[in-house]
C-alpha cells in the first residue's frame, strides 16, 4: 500500500502557502458578490424591458386608439341626438343608456391623461415599441445597455492583457485538430463576449476553468526555492485579480444603482406597485381595453341602426344585449375594481351587471308591445263540429 510522501516546508513556505489560500478564498468571495451583482443588473434589465414592451408596446397604443374611438362614438351619439327624425322617446332612452355606458367605460386618470394633447405628444416613435419589430427591440436593449458603464482606461488595459493571453492560447489557429479547433472557437466566443462587456470576472473564470491547479502542483514540488519563486508569482497574480475584481464589483453596483433610479425603472416599479395594490396587472388592463373597444364597436353599430331606422327595432335591442354580454368578458379583478369605484374616478360606482339588464328588460317589453301593435296575433280558427 503506497502512501504520499510528506514534504516538509520551512516556516516561510508555510506562511506563503497560507497567504495564497487566504487570497484565493477572498478572490472567490468577491467573485460570488460580483456574479450576484451582475445577475441583479441582468434580471432588472430583463424585467424593465418586458414591462416597457407591455406598457409602451401594447397598452399605451391600445389606449390611444380607445380614447380616439370613444371620442368618435360620443360625437356620433351627439349627431343621432340632433337628428329630428328620431323619436323623442327613443332619444331619451338612448341618452339614458349612453350615459350609463360611457360612465362604465370611463378609465379615470388612465384615460384623462391620454386626452391631454401634450401628454399624447410624449408618446413618439422612440417610446412606442412594436413587440414584433426586431429593430425596435434591439434599440430598447441598446438603450438599457447604456446603463452598463465602461471600464476606465487603466482597468481596460488590464482587461486587454488578460484577453490577449487567452486569445493567444485559444485561437482556433492554435488547435492541433478539427475537434480542438471547434472547442477553441466556442471558448473564443466566450472570451470575446466577456471582453466586449468589460467583464474581467468572466475572463478570469475562463482562466481558472482551463488553468492548472497551481497549488496542487506546488505542493508536489520538493524544491523549496522553486516552490517559493512560483507561489510568490501566484500570490501577486491573485492580488492583481482581486484588485481588478473589486474595480468591476464597484462599477457593476454603480450601474445597478443608476438603473434603479432611471425613468425606465420608475415606470416598472409603478407597474409593480399598481399590481400589488389593485390586484390586476398590465395584462388585465390590456384585456379590459380590448373589451371596451369591442363594446364601442357594438355601440356604434347600434347608433347606425337607430340613425337608419329612426325607431326602436329588434336589432337595436340585440345590440344592447350584446353590449351587456360583452362586459362579462372583463377580467374579474378589473370588474370588481370598477364596481368599487377604484377605476372610474368621475362617475362613482358603476354596476354594469344591473343597469343594462334593467334597461334591456324594459326595452324588450316595449318591443313585445310594438310587435303586438304592428303584427296583431292571428285569430284562432274555430274547428267545425262534425255533425
How do residues 276-329 score in pLDDT, each as one tens digit?
Answer: 766 677 888 888 889 999 999 999 999 998 888 877 677 788 888 888 888 888
Handedness of CA 172, 176, 177, 180 (dihedral sign): negative
Is 108 in contact with 344 (CB distance < 8 Å)?
Answer: yes
Q: How far apart are CA 324 and CA 326, in angstroms?
A: 5
Predicted pLDDT at 129: 52
Residue 129 resides in a domain: yes
Q: How far apart are CA 186 and CA 77, in angstroms?
A: 66
Reported as a single tens digit per residue, the pLDDT across 188-227 is 999 999 998 888 888 888 888 776 554 455 555 555 566 6
Check whether 82 has a pLDDT greater than 60: yes
Residue 349 pLDDT class (50, 70, 90 cuts): very low
Q: How far apart are CA 104 and CA 106, in angstroms?
A: 6
Residue 201 resides in a domain: no
Q: How far apart are CA 155 and CA 246, in angstroms?
A: 11
Predicted pLDDT at 356: 42
Residue 119 pLDDT class (50, 70, 90 cuts): low
Total-model pTM: 0.64
- If one compares 116 and 155, the residue with the highest pLDDT of the two is 155
Residue 333 pLDDT class (50, 70, 90 cuts): low
Residue 333 resides in a domain: yes
Predicted pLDDT at 41: 93
Range(s) of the domain holding residue 321: 51-140+267-373
Reported as a single tens digit per residue, the pLDDT across 162-189 is 899 899 988 999 888 898 889 899 999 9
* Number of structural domains found in the chain: 1
Residue 326 resides in a domain: yes
Is 352 in contact with 338 (CB distance < 8 Å)?
Answer: yes
Give, in order, the Cα–Cα distances in Å from 112 to each of 64, 105, 318: 11, 12, 31
Is 203 in contact with 162 (CB distance < 8 Å)?
Answer: yes
Check whether 378 has a pLDDT greater than 60: no
Check whether 72 has a pLDDT greater than 90: yes
Residue 261 resides in a domain: no
Burial 335-350 (b: 16+ CB within 10 A, else e): bebbeeebbbeeeeeb
Q: How far apart are CA 140 and CA 57, in angstroms?
A: 11
Residue 249 resides in a domain: no
Check whether 340 has a pLDDT greater than 60: no
Check whether 365 has a pLDDT greater than 60: no
Residue 383 pLDDT class (50, 70, 90 cuts): low
CB-based contacts of 352, cutoff 8 Å, min separation 6: 100, 104, 324, 327, 338
Residue recorded with cell 399590481 = 275
Residue 367 resides in a domain: yes
Is 113 in contact with 55 (CB distance < 8 Å)?
Answer: no
Predicted pLDDT at 250: 93
Residue 116 pLDDT class (50, 70, 90 cuts): low
Residue 99 resides in a domain: yes
Residue 113 pLDDT class (50, 70, 90 cuts): low
Classify 237 as helix, strand or coil. Answer: helix
Residue 360 pLDDT class (50, 70, 90 cuts): very low
Amino acid at each position: 500500500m503506497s502512501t504520499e510522501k510528506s514534504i516538509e516546508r520551512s516556516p516561510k513556505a508555510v506562511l506563503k502557502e497560507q497567504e495564497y489560500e487566504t487570497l484565493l478564498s477572498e478572490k472567490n468571495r468577491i467573485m460570488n458578490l460580483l456574479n450576484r451583482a451582475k445577475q441583479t443588473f441582468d434580471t432588472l434589465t430583463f424585467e424593465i424591458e418586458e414591462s416597457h414592451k407591455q406598457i409602451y408596446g401594447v397598452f399605451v397604443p391600445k389606449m390611444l386608439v380607445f380614447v380616439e374611438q370613444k371620442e368618435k362614438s360620443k360625437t356620433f351619439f351627439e349627431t343621432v341626438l340632433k337628428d329630428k327624425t328620431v323619436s323623442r322617446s327613443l332619444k331619451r332612452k338612448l341618452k339614458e343608456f349612453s350615459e350609463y355606458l360611457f360612465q362604465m367605460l370611463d378609465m379615470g386618470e388612465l384615460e384623462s391623461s391620454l386626452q391631454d394633447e401634450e401628454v399624447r405628444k410624449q408618446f413618439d416613435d422612440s417610446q412606442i415599441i412594436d413587440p414584433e419589430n426586431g429593430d425596435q427591440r434591439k434599440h430598447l436593449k441598446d438603450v438599457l445597455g447604456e446603463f452598463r458603464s465602461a471600464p476606465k482606461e487603466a482597468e481596460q488595459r488590464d482587461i486587454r492583457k488578460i484577453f490577449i493571453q487567452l486569445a493567444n492560447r485559444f485561437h482556433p489557429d492554435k488547435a492541433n485538430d478539427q475537434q480542438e479547433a471547434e472547442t477553441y472557437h466556442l471558448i473564443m466566443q466566450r472570451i470575446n463576449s466577456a471582453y466586449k462587456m468589460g467583464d474581467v470576472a468572466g475572463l478570469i473564470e475562463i482562466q481558472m476553468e482551463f488553468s492548472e491547479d497551481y497549488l496542487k502542483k506546488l505542493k508536489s514540488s520538493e524544491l523549496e526555492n522553486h516552490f517559493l519563486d512560483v507561489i510568490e508569482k501566484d500570490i501577486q497574480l491573485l492580488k492583481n485579480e482581486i484588485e481588478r475584481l473589486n474595480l468591476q464589483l464597484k462599477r457593476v453596483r454603480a450601474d445597478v444603482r443608476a438603473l434603479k433610479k432611471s425613468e425606465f425603472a420608475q415606470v416598472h416599479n409603478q407597474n409593480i406597485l399598481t399590481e400589488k395594490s389593485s390586484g390586476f396587472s398590465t395584462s388585465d388592463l390590456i384585456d379590459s381595453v380590448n373589451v371596451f373597444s369591442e363594446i364601442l364597436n357594438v355601440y356604434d353599430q347600434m347608433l347606425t341602426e337607430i340613425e337608419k331606422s329612426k325607431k326602436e327595432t329588434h336589432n337595436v335591442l340585440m345590440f344592447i344585449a350584446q353590449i351587456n354580454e360583452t362586459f362579462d368578458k372583463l377580467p374579474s379583478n378589473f370588474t370588481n375594481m370598477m364596481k368599487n369605484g377604484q377605476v372610474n374616478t368621475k362617475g362613482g360606482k358603476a354596476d354594469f351587471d344591473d343597469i343594462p339588464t334593467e334597461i334591456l328588460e324594459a326595452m324588450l317589453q316595449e318591443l313585445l308591445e310594438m310587435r303586438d301593435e304592428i303584427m296583431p296575433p292571428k285569430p284562432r280558427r274555430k274547428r267545425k263540429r262534425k255533425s
